[in-house]
Every structure is written in C-alpha cells, then in structure tokens.
Structure 1
C-alpha cells in the first residue's frame, strides 16, 4: 500500500483552480437589483413622510394649535393679540407650509426619477453614475430639510420683533434673553433630531448602497 503524503495532498489541493461562483455579469445584475431596491425603499419612505406631514400640517392648521403657541410668545413679551397680527401670522404660516410641502414633493419626484433610471440602466458606468447622483440627492434633501427649519424659525422670530416694534413695545432685557436662548436651543435640538432621524432611517440604506457602489467600481476596474 503506497504511503499517504498529507503535505503533498494539501499542495495539490491548493493548486487546483478555483472556479468563481458568479461571473461579473451575474454580480452586476444582482447589484443592479439590490441598488434598485434600496432606492425604492428611500422613495417610499419619502412618500410616507410627505403624506404624514401633509396630514399633520392640515390638522394643526385647522386646530390652530401652532398659531396659539406662537401668539402666546407674543403675549408673554407684552404684545397684543390683534386681528392684524393673527391674520399676518396665518398667511406667513400657510406660505411656509406650502413651501415645505413643495420642496418635499420635489425630492419625492427626484427619488422616483432616480429609481426609474436605475431600473432600466444596464451599463456599468451609467449605474455607478446613477448611484452617485442619488447619494447627492439624498444629502441635499437632508441639508435642505435642516435649512428650512432654520429659515422658518428665523422668519417667525423676525415677525415677533416686527410685531413688538409695530406696537411700540419694548420687552425687558431678561425676557428677550430668555426668548432668544429658547429659540436657539429649540432650533438646535430640532435640527439635531432631524439629522439623527435621517442618519438612522436613510443612513442604514445608504451604507448598503455604498457597499454596492464599491463592488461596482471594483468590477469596473477589472474591465478596464
């Protein structure tokens, strides 16, 4: 019986050519499908956000809760709640709400466009380009959401000072300091919560999309 050489067997086994489980074309198809799904998830999340905030905005608008909360700030600073002040605030509030919904609807449309383009895209370089553009769109959506919050708060704050000035009211310095600190802290906390929300909800999906992008670039480099 011939002697069994374990070292020789290992060497022979290691030298055997390893067959790839999937070729680049199959991997590309899988990454394309996964990428479409990730973009679709973000699209449907944005659709849900749009309808959710639309319903909540309409509800609070007719309830008048946000209006009463704003006017209470004016009263605490000594201003009178006149019909002119109420009408002016209602108009500003309605314009800002519509602007916010228009911006959100625009990004919902952009996400849908990105989803459709990735769905029919078969070219490798084109797919990479689509994913990179989609990432930029998501980042722009997050940034603009935070900027809108800051802009809206600034407009409301300016309106408060305008209302006080129009009524020739000069609140105490201590009241102004408390008011300004409260506005800054509330705005900063709200912006942080928005960032954390998108970081958690969108970030999980974007990390997976980033992995797909890295794999696609690796395939592209092999084909050059």
Structure 2
C-alpha cells in the first residue's frame, strides 16, 4: 500500500503541468516532517541511553571494589573516562537537539539535504566514540582484575609456567578477540537501533535529490 508521500509524488508527476509549485511544496513539507520525526527519535534515544549509563554507574560491583594501590589508580582512570563519556554524550545530545531544531525550521530542500548529511555524520561520530571508550574500558578492567583481584590467579599461574611469554601472548590475543567480539555486539546494537533511523533519513535525502533535479 502506497504511503502518503508516494501518493503525493505520483500526483505531482501527473499534474506537474498544472500545479508544479504547490505539489513540490507539499512533497517537500512531507519529507521535512518525516526527517524531523527521525531526528527527534535519535534525540530521545540518546537521552534514554545517557540515563541508562548513569543508572548502571550506581549499580554495585559484585565483590566490591579492589583496594590495592595499583587498582585504585586504575579505578581513578576509569572514573576519568566515565566523566569524559558522560560529558561527550551530553554534548552529542545537545547536537542532536540542535539538528532537530534546524531540520524543523529548514526552508529549502537544499538546506534540508545539508542538515541530513550533518545528522548522519553526528550519529556516526557518536557511535564510534562509544565503541572507542568501550574498548579502552575493557582493557583497563582486564588489567585491574588480572593484576589486583586475589580471586584471579592467572598472573601467578603464568609467572610459574615455563613458557610465560607465550602464555601472556595468548592472553593478549584472547583479550583482543574478546574486545572485538563485544565491540561487534555493541556495534550491531547501534547498527540496528540507529541504522533503521538513518536508513529513513537516507530515503528522505534521495527524495529531496529527486525534487532538486
């Protein structure tokens, strides 16, 4: 079943000799409204994600925090990264809101196309930033628990082994594979979540290009 936009396009193509300007404006307004709705959802989702990370921050760690001197230093680095992440996410939320306002008041197809490109670029920057922070955090947590958690005897076992260098190499490879796997899952989550919305924006962008031709 054709949606409203497709019906307007078909009507415009059939009657463009009679009312080209009115039909053009109707189609443009429809695309702008749909684009504004997509960006609004991106804005809402980013707020929900921000609140999720804040709630997760206050969830107690099983077994409590490690109190060794080196662990405390690493935990301070973790805290610094958390603050940077929250500040960055807040920045992106503001950017998403600004993008939403710009698209809502855009008065030409050309400017709307430019704003759609900006939105896509901002979303991609947001996703890659989160993936980068996630990877760094995984490395820090791994170092912290392997070196300072008395319940984990991996460091002692490797030190007592004959081929300790090879074992450490294997551990590093396993760590990289684990980071890659979980980063891929996170990327897949973002791909599904934001990918659907970006796909709609891309469709709107293509419709605008047709109008401009």
- TM-score (normalizing by structure 2): 0.76
Corresponding residue of 1:55: 55
Distance 1:137 1:28, change over 3 A: same
Aligned-partner SS, 2:15: coil
- In 2, Cα distance between the equivalents of 1:42 and 1:154? 29
Which of 206, 209, 214 pairs up with 2:206? 214
Q: Does 1:116 align with 2:113?
A: no
Corresponding residue of 2:82: 97
Number of residue pairs the alignment of both structures matches: 187
Corresponding residue of 2:189: 197
Contact 1:43–1:108 (8 Å) recurs in 2: yes
TM-superposition CA deviations, 1:137-191 (whole Å, max 9, x none): 111111111122223334456667998xxxxx88342652443233112211111
Distance 1:156 1:117, change over 3 A: same
Q: Does 1:186 align with 2:178?
A: yes
Once the two structures are overlaid, the 10-residue window that deviates more, 152-161 or 84-93, is 152-161
Contact 1:111–1:134 (8 Å) recurs in 2: yes
> How far 1:64 moved relative to its partner?
3.0
Corresponding residue of 2:15: 19
Contact 2:71–2:144 (8 Å) recurs in 1: no
Contact 1:67–1:90 (8 Å) recurs in 2: no
Instruction: Report the structure number with the largest CA radius of gyration.
Output: 1
Corresponding residue of 1:10: none
Once the two structures are overlaid, the 10-residue window that deviates more, 138-147 or 179-188, is 179-188
- TM-score (normalizing by structure 1): 0.73
Q: Which runs of 5+ in 1 are unaligned?
A: 1-16, 72-81, 164-168
CA RMSD across the alignment:
2.9
Aligned-partner SS, 2:107: coil
Which of 61, 65, 69 pairs up with 1:64? 61
Aligned pairs for 1:158-173 within 5 A = 171=159, 172=161, 173=164
Contact 1:31–1:212 (8 Å) recurs in 2: yes
- In 1, Cα distance between the equivalents of 2:14 and 2:69? 80
- In 1, Cα distance between the equivalents of 2:103 and 2:64? 43
Aligned pairs for 1:146-157 within 5 A = 146-156=131-141
TM-superposition CA deviations, 1:7-46 (whole Å, max 9, x none): xxxxxxxxxx943697111000000000000000111011
Q: Which runs of 5+ in 2 are unaligned?
A: 1-12, 149-155
Aligned-partner SS, 1:23: helix
